[in-house]
Amino acid sequence: MSRGHLSRDAALEGVLYCSVVLLRVRDLRKSYGPVRAVDGISFSVEAGTIFALLGPNGAGKTTTVEILEGLRRPDAGEIELFGDKVERIGPAQKARMGVLLQEGAFEPYLRVQEVLKLFSSFFPKNRDPGELLSLVGLSDKARALVKTLSGGQKKRLALAVALLNDPELLFLDEPTTGLDPQARRHVWEITAEIRRQGKGVFLTTHYMEEAETLADWVAIMDHGRIIAEGTPQDLIRRFGTETFLEFEIPKEAFPELSQLFPGKARQDGERVTLAVQNLPQDLSSLLSWASGKGVALRNLLVRQPNLEDVFLSLTGRRLRD
Amino acid sequence: MKAALALGLSFFRISLRERESLFWFWIFPLLLLAFLGAVFGRVEKGEMDLAIAVVDLDRGPLSQALCALVREIGEGGLFRVVEVPEAQGNPGEWAQREVREGRIHAALIIPRGFSITLQGFPLSGSNPAPVEVLYRRGEAGSSTAASILYEAAEEFGRAFLAEAGLLRREIPVEKELVGGEERAMDYVEFILPGIILMALFINGIFQVPSAVVLAKEKKILRQYFATPVSGGQYLVGFALASLWMCVFQVAAIWALGYFAFGARVPLLRPEALLYLLLAFGVCLGLGFLISSFSRTYASAMALSNLLNIPMQFLGGLWFPLAFLPGPLRIAMALNPLTHLAQGLRAALGLGTPSFPKWVSLLVPLFWILVSAVISGKKIRLTEE
């Protein structure tokens, strides 16, 4: 998908959303002493789309999100939210936004339903708390104290709070960290439903699969700058030029293999990932080497590049580094 | 305001559920009162700062002898004698007013003709005009002071009769009840205002900073500030919860004193309520001040502990400040607790302040103002 076009789901619903820009950021800057945490980034989030900001730790991603959530002041740059230019995100903007913080917490001695009631008093309009608890699967915990909830349950409560005011723009900062795979899928479904309703979502995540599955537009950030952006497929097409062979070999065989494919092989325990430009030729070389040395190649598979590979090739780091 | 009220209600709930807060703010002051009341119970009169006046309308030799006797008793530290202002046209009315308005605990009025009729008494047998003791309704300090004066007058009468060889007969002394009931001085009544102030003080310097700094440290505050809630609304909500907690706590301490120990402390007097409100303001302000200078929970608690003992020690919550050596009296005079304790006790008729009333009001107000200004500038509820 390219920017400004209809998303497929929105088109199916017959509603024109994508031309409405909910958030536009131009040349945003923020420094902490001599460190430039955010160094002149620009992007926009449109209605009915999910925008994913990816970056390794220290890339400036959290600072960017916290500025947009109204928790920090930018040093420079322009923020346009819901069509209005704002110096700082204030109560009027926050009333139309939903925020799921990466590092947030609720009063441990309040009950789940009391937390929702308390937060609903902060907004002019609210969704039914019972319906939200049901949506995030916490109905049976309505009377439980927050301190008795597991990490995943707290995350789901935070999602319910973020959805409380039926926001036009939703910030999801690592929404599925700490959730089991089933709960993660459930959050994806909720997020996709929000997009279907024509709302905008600003997502940061450590899970590439999440970004690939959900995001309409991905921006990759490193050292305070956006170094690449586009749809996931576009990024993979532009930066993922290699095919990957993955297999397991004994650790002691790796040095010889890396001499055969200099700079192309990565080792993670017994698992090896080999980036190849010419699949038939390189696969043949690999098999010949293994046969000649008597090395067993276990669990061999061939895969296409994904967002993780793009990220690695652009930043030199894995997302979780 | 809706958000601040909802926050206040939530914080109030939390204070009832969180064990540490429940013990230190709600239970500990009650336990302390119960312990002190059970151990010491009623105390002998004498450690109270009682103020009395002697109005000599007669100015005869015998009335002056009675005045001298009262002063002699007072020199033992039982009370201090407040002099009738020289310009006072009607000293009797002045004494009535001073007692009624609580500036002095009791007054002895010696009528005109007292000396002449008393001197003629052995021959004529006619009773002299009665000596009057004025005191105030339902107030332990006033009642005690009146009893002392009553005893002094009776003692004087017995001494005179013994001198005249007429010990069988007595000088009539009338004890005039302005109202209420006659009761002995109660230690619980003396200590109860101190415990109330201690509870407010603990809430201010421990509960407030621990809640605010911990909420910031545990990232609870950022969850609030990601919504339209402002720092001001959060602080107003917090102050409301503290106020409700203090009202309930004061009521609980009063009820324990009243029902368990029979302490009659008239907390609803406007002046007493004013001092309680000032005490709440000072303690809350101190709490916000500590929060402003503390980055972590540990540093907040260290600062609170640093202030706790000296301020209570130099505030006269637990003993009369007259015992303090000279240099410490300066610290005492600057300590808002000094003025709150003295002002509250005076308003309750349990003592007279060492400072003029305007000073007792001004010093706490000054602390509230300073705390508000510094906290307003320094307190950081968000990361920036």
Reported as a single tens digit per residue, the pLDDT across B333-351 is 888 988 998 889 888 887 7
pLDDT at position B183 is: 52
- Closest CA in chain B for residue A95: B228
Q: Residue A269: which pLDDT band, with cuts at 50, 70 and 90?
A: confident
> Do the Cβ atoms of A114 and B10 come within 8 Å?
yes
- The DSSP annotation for B59-71 comes to -SHHHHHHHHHHH
Percent of chain B topping pLDDT 70: 85
Q: Are residues B210 and B354 in the same domain?
A: yes
Q: Residue A8: which pLDDT band, with cuts at 50, 70 and 90?
A: very low
**Residue B369 in domain:** yes
**Residue B331 in domain:** yes
> Do the Cβ atoms of A101 and B226 come within 8 Å?
yes
pLDDT at position B289 is: 92
Q: Are residues B243 and B331 in the same domain?
A: yes
Helices marked H in B165-296 — which ranges?
Answer: 187-202, 208-217, 220-225, 231-261, 270-292
- Closest CA in chain A for residue B14: A109
Q: With contact defined as beta carbons under 8 Å apart, do A303 and A271 qualify? A: no
> Do the Cβ atoms of A105 and B220 come within 8 Å?
yes
**Conformational region of residue A111, where left means phi above 0, alpha means psi within -120 to 50, and beta covers everything else:** beta
Instruction: Check pLDDT > 60 for residue B137.
Output: yes
Q: Chain A partners of B218 at a C-beta cutoff of 8 Å?
A: 105
Q: Residue B61: which pLDDT band, with cuts at 50, 70 and 90?
A: confident
User: In sequence order, what are the residues at sequence separation of 6 or more whose Cβ sits closer than 8 angstroms to the Cβ of residue B64?
Assistant: B56
Last residue of a domain, one of B124, B154, B176: B176
Query: How many CA atoms within 13 Å lie on the side-chain side of B130?
Result: 9
Q: Residue B87: which pLDDT band, with cuts at 50, 70 and 90?
A: confident
Q: What's the structural domain count of chain B? A: 2
Q: Is A82 on the interface with B (CB under 8 A)?
A: no
Q: In degrees rounded to 5, what are phi and psi of residue B2?
A: -60, -45
Q: Which of the 8 DSSP states describes residue B78?
A: I
pLDDT at position A10 is: 45
Q: State the average pLDDT over residues A205-233.
A: 90
Q: With contact defined as beta carbons under 8 Å apart, do B158 and B170 qualify? A: yes
Q: State the average pLDDT over residues B256-272.
A: 88
Q: Which one of A2-11, A160-169, A243-252, B185-194 scores highest in mean pLDDT?
A: A160-169
**Residue B233 in domain:** yes
Torsion of CA A160, A161, A162, A163, to 10 degrees: 50
Instruction: Check pLDDT > 80 for residue B141.
Output: no
Q: Chain A partners of B3 at a C-beta cutoff of 8 Å?
A: 121-122
Please write down the HEC assignment for all residues of chain A. CCCCCCCHHHHHHCCCCCCCEEEEEEEEEEEECCEEEEEEEEEEEECCCEEEEECCCCCCHHHHHHHHCCCCCCCEEEEEECCEEECCCCHHHHCCEEEECCCCCCCCCCEHHHHHHHHHCCCCCCCCHHHHHHHCCCHHHCCCEHHHCCHHHHHHHHHHHHHCCCCCEEEEECCCCCCCHHHHHHHHHHHHHHHHCCCEEEEECCCHHHHHHHCCEEEEEECCEEEEEECHHHHHHHHCCCEEEEEECCHHHHHHHHHHCCCCEEEECCEEEEEECCHHHHHHHHHHHHHHHCCCCEEEEEECCCHHHHHHHHHCCCCCC
pLDDT at position B323 is: 62
Q: Are residues B246 and B323 in the same domain?
A: yes
Q: Are residues B134 and B110 in the same domain?
A: yes
pLDDT per residue over A284-294, tens digit each? 999 999 999 88
pLDDT at position B174 is: 62
> Do the Cβ atoms of B227 and A119 come within 8 Å?
yes
Q: Are residues B12 and B55 in the same domain?
A: no
First to last CA, chain A: 29
**Considering Cα of B264, then B268, then B271, then B277, what sign does the dihedral take?**
positive
Instruction: Check pLDDT > 50 for residue A14.
Output: no
pLDDT at position B44 is: 46
- Closest CA in chain A for residue B384: A72
Last residue of a domain, one of B151, B176, B201: B176
The Cα of A226 is separated from the nearest Cα of chain B by a number of Å equal to: 24
pLDDT per residue over A111-124, tens digit each? 999 999 999 999 99
pLDDT per residue over B99-111, tens digit each? 888 888 899 999 8
pLDDT at position B45 is: 42
Task: Report the candidate in B186, B145, B191, B182 with the shortest Cα–Cα distance to residue B345.
Answer: B191
The CA distance from A191 to B302, in Å, is 45
**Residue B181 in domain:** no
> Do the Cβ atoms of A101 and B219 come within 8 Å?
yes
Q: Are residues B143 and B215 in the same domain?
A: no
pLDDT at position B81 is: 86
Instruction: Check pLDDT > 90 for residue A141.
Output: yes
Domain that holds residue B312: 2-42+186-378
Q: Is B305 on the interface with A (CB under 8 A)?
A: no
Mean pLDDT across chain A: 87
Q: Are residues B152 and B190 in the same domain?
A: no
Count of CB atoms situated within 10 Å of the CB of A280? 8
Among A32, A122, A165, pick the best mutation site for testing chain B contact (most B Cβ within 10 A): A122
Is B42 in a helix, a strand, or coil?
coil
Q: Chain B partners of A114 at a C-beta cutoff of 8 Å?
A: 10, 13
Last residue of a domain, one of B133, B156, B176: B176
Q: Are residues B14 and B80 in the same domain?
A: no
Percent of chain A topping pLDDT 90: 53
Identify the weakest region by mean pLDDT among A96-110, B132-146, B175-189. Answer: B175-189
pLDDT at position A12 is: 45
Q: Are residues B272 and B216 in the same domain?
A: yes
**Residue B384 in domain:** no
Q: Residue A268: which pLDDT band, with cuts at 50, 70 and 90?
A: confident
Q: Are residues B142 and B67 in the same domain?
A: yes
Q: Are residues B209 and B160 in the same domain?
A: no
**Considering Cα of A139, then A140, then A142, then A148, what sign does the dihedral take?**
negative
Burial call A198-229: b when 16+ CB within 10 Å, e when fewer: bbbbbbbbbbbebbbebbbbbbbbbebebebb
Q: Which of the 8 DSSP states describes residue B268?
A: T
The Cα of B6 is separated from the nearest Cα of chain A by a number of Å equal to: 6
Q: Are residues B94 and B131 in the same domain?
A: yes
pLDDT per residue over A43-98, tens digit each? 999 999 999 999 888 889 889 999 999 989 999 999 999 999 998 888 999 999 99
Q: State the average pLDDT over residues B118-136.
A: 77
Instruction: Check pLDDT > 50 for residue A11.
Output: no
pLDDT at position A115 is: 96
ipTM of the prediction: 0.82
Please give the model's pTM, rounded to 2 decimal places: 0.71
- Closest CA in chain B for residue A159: B223
pLDDT per residue over B274-321, tens digit each? 999 999 999 999 999 999 988 888 999 999 998 888 888 787 666 666
Q: Residue B69: which pLDDT band, with cuts at 50, 70 and 90?
A: confident
